[in-house]
Amino acid sequence: MNRLSSTHIVYLVALATIIAGTVLVGSAGRNFFSPGNVSDILTGTSILGFIAIGQTLVILVGSLDLSVPYVISLSSLIGAGIMANQPGNILPAVLAALLVSALIGLANGAVVAGLQVHGFIATLGMGLIVSGYLGSNYQGSAGQAPLAFRLIGATGIGPVPVSTLIMLACAAVVLLMLNTTRLGHAMYAVGGDASVARMSGVRTRTPVIAAHVICSTMAGLAGLLLAARLGVGSPTIGSQGGYDLLSIAAVVLGGTLLAGGKGSLIGTLGGVLIFAMLDNIMSVLQVNPFLKDVVRGIVIVVAVAVYARRKVVHRPARFGRGPAHDDDAPPPGPGTSRQGGPSRGDGTGARDEVSA
């Protein structure tokens, strides 16, 4: 247990879920590994996967994104609206939807990094603004996705759906960005401690803005995928799914610190897989839909409690204390502001305790 990183634990939990799933689904007289069921699980990972990839980046830089559900709805409406059942319109529709999503992300990032508003409030406010726009301009589902576009949501290579492949491709690109580029390292640095990053010569605003832009673009992709599945755009599709809180839960389940600076995309994908398998198992067992939420809630808390305790008990202290303790550092001299870095200094509700 000592030597395991949290990513390993995520996949151990996923393995345990697979074993439990095999037994439970088997006892219901079905095969957990039948191509149909595997395809079902993988389909379940795609939407949440897209959002969780973006959410991982945003949480890594120490912010949050609560505006994703509304970006998803908006993107599905813009996409389906511009397509209007014309196969020739697919490309402009996709580009327009992604552009609008990216602009919302840019606004989020600018408010968080530029105006020093906490990510929770900035994105909650942005989500409300978009939600007001959606409520005022769309009464119900609108637009029509052409058949060629709908195929993306419906076809697969063997048991693996195309949508999941796209999601994995995005994950690979983002992973490469996080691990090999300057921007990726800067994201970890800013999330760990913005003032230290600043003093080491990292521009602290760029990574925050970039993370928000990527996150919203990913949410836009998820919205387009939902439009492909439904064939229409819907103003409530995002908020119905509760994707904002579920994606944050998946990221934290994947071992990323809610306070930022520590975590991995691979772990997030494991968290998403666990959620998808849980959903699948409960669907096969025909669990009451309300009890599904109960199980989800308990699993989130229990799983995170496992990592949180592990970090407390097992990790040796480095430099006296864990790295997330940015504002508990020795008191600054008179005249310096305690809130040194953008949005990091005052932490989230989750701050610090995890790594204490």
Partner 1 sequence: MSVATDRAVLQQNRSPRGERVLRALRTPSGAIFVLVALLFLAVLAANPSFGEPGSLIRFIGRTAPIAIAAIGQYFVIVSGEFDLSMGSVVTAQVIIAGNLIGQDESRTIPVLALMIVFGAFVGLVNGLVTTLLKVPSFIVTLGTMLALLGLVLFWTGGAATGNPADSFRQIGRGGIQDVPVLEVLPYPVLILVATAAAAFWLMRRPYGRTLVAVGDNSRAAALTGASVWWVRTRAFMLSSLAATAAGVILVGYAGVHPSVGQGYEFTAITAVVLGGVVIGGGRGWVLSAAAGAFALELLFTLLNFLGVESTWRDSVQGAIIIVAVAAASRNWQRKRRGASSRAHDEHRPIAAPTPAPGTNEGGT
CB distance 46 to 52 below 8 Å: no
- Give the per-residue contact string, 240-279, with partner 1 (x = CB under 8 A; - = no): -----x--xx--x-----xx--------------------
In the complex with partner 1, which residue's Cβ is closer, 1 or 328?
Answer: 328
The residue to which tokens 């995170």 are assigned: 304
Give me the sign of the Cα torsion angle 289, 38, 177, 305: positive
Closest CA to 348 of 51, 128, 64: 64
Binder to partner 1 among 122, 208, 237, 272 (CB under 8 A)?
122
- Binders of partner 1 among residues 281 to 300 (CB under 8 A) are 288, 290-298, 300
261 Cβ neighbours under 8 A, 6+ residues apart: 60, 62, 188, 189, 190, 191, 192, 193, 323, 324
Interface residue with partner 1 among 23, 28, 135, 176 (CB under 8 A) is 135
| By the rule CB under 8 A, 27 interacts with partner 1 | no
Question: Total number of residues binding partner 1 (CB under 8 A)?
Answer: 63
Residue 28 CB contacts under 8 Å (≥ 6 apart), including other chains:
284, 285
116: contact with partner 1 by CB under 8 A: yes
Other beta carbons within 10 angstroms of residue 68's beta carbon come to: 35
Task: Check binding of 314 to partner 1 (CB under 8 A).
Answer: no
The mark string for 191-230 relative to partner 1 (x by CB under 8 A, - otherwise) is ----------------------------------------
| Structure tokens, 66 | 């609560």
Q: For residue 202, what are the CA distances in angstroms to 196, 197, 320, 332, 343?
A: 9, 5, 24, 21, 16
- Find the binder of partner 1 among 140, 201, 316, 349 (CB under 8 A): 349
Cβ nearer to partner 1, comparing 115 with 176: 115
Contacting residues toward partner 1, per CB under 8 A: 111, 115-118, 120-122, 124-133, 135-136, 245, 248-249, 252, 258-259, 288, 290-298, 300-301, 304-305, 308-309, 311-312, 325, 327-328, 334-335, 337-339, 345-354, 356
